[in-house]
Amino acid sequence: MNDEFELLESQAQSPFDVKAFLIRALSYWKWFVLCIGLGIFIVYQQNIRKQQSYRLSTQISIEDDKNPLFTSNTSLTFNWGGVSGKVKTIMTTLQSRSHHEKVVDTLAFYKKYLKQSRFRKDDIYKAAPFEISLTPNTYQVLNHPIKVTFLGGDKLEIQTEFESPTLRTQNFDTKEHETISATNGVKTYPATLGEPINLPFLKGTITKRDKRDFNAGDEYYIEFSDFDAVVRNYKNKLKIDNPINSAILNLSMTDVNTAKIVDYLNKTVDILRKDQLDKKNLFVTNTIAFIDKQLAREKENLISRTDSLNNYREKNKIFNLDEESIQINEKLSELETESDNINRKIAYYRSLKTYLETSNSFTELPAPSIAGIDDTNILNNIAKINALSVQKSKYESTVRSDASVFVDLDNQIEALKSVLLENISSATSGLRRELNFVNGKIGQSTSKIKKLPKDQQQLLTIQRQYALSEQTYNMFLAKRGEADIIKSASVSDVQVVDPAKDTGAIPIDLKLSARYIFAFLGGLIIPLLVAFLVTFFDNKLHNPQSLEKLSKIPLLGVIGKNTTVNNLAVHLKPKSTVAEAFRGLRSSLQYMYKKQANESSKTIMLTSSVSGEGKTFCSINLATVFALSGKKTILVGLDLRKPKIFDDFEIKNNIGSVNYLIGQKSLEEITQQTKIENLDLIVSGPVPPNPSELLMGDIMDQFIAELKEKYDYIILDTPPIGLVADAIELVEYVDATLYVVRQDYTKKGMLSLINDKFKRKELSNISFIYNFYNQKGKYGYGYGYGYGYGYGYGTYGNGYHEDEEKNRGLLNRITNIFKFKK
C-alpha cells in the first residue's frame, strides 16, 4: 500500500499534462481567431504607415601608390607605413564626427523636403520641384515642418502652426543655437519664387529646380533639423566592413530615400579621397608655399636690380665691356653663385636644427632638395623621422595616450634626432670650410676688378647682382615646377571600386506576405502560451480520471451539474440525469453493504476538503433517493460551524443537533418532517462555541444509537475535513464515508490530506463522489464519463431521462456523438 501511495504522489507531482494542454488550447479557438485577426490588422496598419527602408553600398580599395617621380632629391611625399596602416587610419576617419560634419555640411542634409502622404510626411529629397537657399549667417527654426503651397505662377504661401511660445533655431554657418519667441496657432505668409523670405523663423530664397514642374495647389513641407543630430544620425547609419582584413572597404547605409543614400555614400568617398590626398601631399604643399614666398622675394630683388642696371647704363652711357672685364665678371659671378648655394645650405641646416630641437611634428619642414641638400644620411634620417611621426599620429586616433607604443616611437624618434643633429653639425662644418675657400677666390677676383675704371667696376657689380638674382629666381621657379609636377602626379590612396548607385533597390524591411505570416504565428503563440501557462499552473480536478490517478480511494459515483433552483434536485426532477446519478450511488452503497453483510441500520457520513464542493447538495439528494426507495431515512446536520441544509427545506435552524447534544431537547423535539415521504431532517441548530467537544462527548454515542433504532439510513452532513477536525470525530459512528470533490474547484493538493489519513487507516470504508461533472468541462474537454459509476450521467440514460438541453446546436450534437464513439 505504501508503494502505491508513493507512486500516486509522484504522479500528482507530474509537472505538465500534454493532453490537457492540447484540449485547453483547442477550447481557446475564439482567442486564436481574435489574436490572429488583431495581429494581421496591426501589421496592415504598420504596412500602410511605414515608409520602407533601403540599403545601398559602395566599395573602395586602399592602395599604396608611390609617386612615379620619386628620387632621393625630388620626393616631397610622406611614407605612410604600408596598406594595413592606411586601412585602419581610413576606417577611423570614416567613423569620426568631423568627417561626417563635412559630408552633412556639403550636402546640406539638415534641410528636408517633405510631402504629405496618407499617413505620414515622406522625405522626397531632390524630387521636390523647388529648393531653398538659406541667407548666410541667419537662424532657421528647428524640427517644425513649414508648409509651402504653390498658388500659381511665381506666387506661393508659407504656413506654420506653432504650439510653443518659444522656438529653437540654428545658424547653419556657425552652428550656433538661439531661442526666439513664436506666435501660436496657424499663420500664413505670402512669398514669391526667387525673392528673399525674411521671417523670424525662416530666412532664404525659394527657387524652382531645373526640369521640375508643379501645379497650383501643390503642397510641400520644409523642415530643418539640428546639425549635430543629423551628423550623429548618419554617423550611426554608415556601416563599414573590412572583409578578411584586406585592403577593401565596403561602405553601406540604410535609409528611406535611396537618392540620399547614393549622394551620402559618394560624397563620403569624395571627401575621404580629397582629405587623404591632401594629407599625402602635405609635405609638397608646404614646400610649394615656401617656394612661393622665396619666388616673391627674389622677384622683387630681380625687378629692383634690373631697374638699377638699366638706369646705370643709361645714365653713364656704358652698354658694353671689354673682353677682360667680361671674363673677370663671369668668374666672380660663378663664385658668388656657389657662395650663395653654400649659404642656402647652411641656412637650411640651421633652420632644420632649430625645428628638430623645438618641434614634435615634422610635416611643415620644406624638402631638403629645395636647398640643394644631397647628403644621403640626412635625407634618409629625415624620411625615417617623417615615417615615425606619421605612424605616431595614426596611433593617436586609435590607441590610448599612455600606451607603451608611444614610448617606443618617441625613443626611436629621439635616437634619430640625435643622429640627425650630429649629421647636421658635421655637414655644417664642411660647408663652412668650403665657404671660406670660395670667399677667398671671390676676394682674388674682386681685387682684379678694382683695377678697372670706376664706372666699369660699378657696372660689373650691378650686373653680378642682377645675374645672381636671376639665377636664384630661375632655380626656385624650376623647383616650383618640379613640385607642381610631383603634386599633380600624386593620386589618392583611396580608389573607388564600385560607386553607390540605385539599380532598383529592394526594401530591406520584411515583405508584406512575410509580415502577415509572422502576424499569424504571433496570433497562434499568444493563446498557446496562455494555454500552456494555465495548464502548467492549473492544480484543479477537471475529470474523474485525474482523480483516480491521484488517489487509491475508490470512486463510488459521478454526479452531474445541478440545474435546479435549489439543492433538491432529485425531488424536483426525479427523472433527470442528476437523479439517476444519485440512484446509481444508492445502488453502489447497497451493494457494498450487502458484501459487508450489514443488515442493520446504515450510517453514511459526507465530508469534503473545503466549503463549496457540494457536500450539502450530495447529502440532501442521497438522503432523498434512500427515502424514495421506501427506507426510513434521516438527514442530520452536523456541520455545527456553518449550517446550510435548512434553507432548501424551508425550515428554521433554531433547534437542532446542538440542542440535543447539550441536553436541552430530545430526539423527537429536534426531528422535523420534510415534504419528502420517509425523509426526516435534523438541522444543526445554533452555532455552539465548542463544536468539536460536543461531537466527542458520550452523548454523541447515545444520539447515534437512538437514530439507528428508528431509521434505516442515517445521512450525516459534516464539516469539511480539510478545514476542521470535527468530521474525524464522527468516523467511529459511520459505516461509510463519502468524500465529495467538485470538478474545476477541488485542488489536487487538497487530496494529500485525505490520502494521508487513508494511508494511515484513520478512515475506513471511504469513497469519493465526483460532483458537478460537466461533460464539456470548463476548458472544453470531457471524457464521456457516466456509463459506470452510478449509471447517472452521460449517454446511458438517453431516452429515460428528462431532456435538460432542449435546443442543443448541431455542433454540440456532433461533438457528443464523437465523444461517445471515442
CA torsion 659-661-667-671 (nearest 10°) is 50
pLDDT at 361: 62
Residue 63, pLDDT score: 75
The top-level CATH class assigned to 544-821 is alpha beta
Residues 737-794: pLDDT tens digits? 999 999 988 888 888 888 888 888 877 789 999 999 886 554 444 433 433 333 333 3
Domain boundaries, the chain: 2-50+509-537, 58-62+107-273, 282-489, 544-821
* Three-point CA angle 501, 115, 186, nearest 5°: 150
- Angle made by CA atoms 27, 28, 34, in degrees to the nearest 5: 145
Residue 430 and residue 432: Cα distance in Å, rounded?
5
Q: How far apart are CA 198 and CA 189, in angstroms?
A: 10
Q: What is the per-residue pLDDT for 213?
A: 84
Closest CA to 201 of 226, 167, 229: 167
CB distance 301 to 469 below 8 Å: yes
Secondary structure class of 453 (helix, strand, coil): coil
d(CA 42, CA 36): 10
Q: State the pLDDT at residue 82.
A: 46
- pLDDT score, position 791: 36
CB 302 within 8 A of CB 462: no
Kindly state the DSSP code that residue 733 receives in the 8-state scheme.
G
Q: Pick out the chain residues at pLDDT < 70.
A: 1-16, 64-85, 280-286, 305, 309-310, 312-333, 359-372, 374, 387, 390-405, 444-466, 468, 483, 486-491, 509-513, 598, 722-725, 775-822
Could you identify the residue written with the cell 543655437? 177
What are the counts of helices (DSSP H) followed by strands (DSSP E) for the chain?
23, 24
pLDDT confidence of residue 680: 95
**Rounded to two decimals, what is the model's pTM?**
0.54
Contacts of 188 (CB under 8 A, 6+ apart): 157, 158, 159
Integer Cα distance of 169 and 166 in angstroms: 10
Beta bridge partners of 797: none
Rounded to a whole number of angstroms, the CA Rg of the chain reads 54
DSSP secondary structure, 493-516, as one string: SEEEEE----SSPPP-SPPHHHHH
Residue 227 and residue 175 in contact, taking contact as beta carbons nearer than 8 Å: yes
Distances (CA, A) of 158 to 151, 198, 393, 801: 11, 11, 51, 84
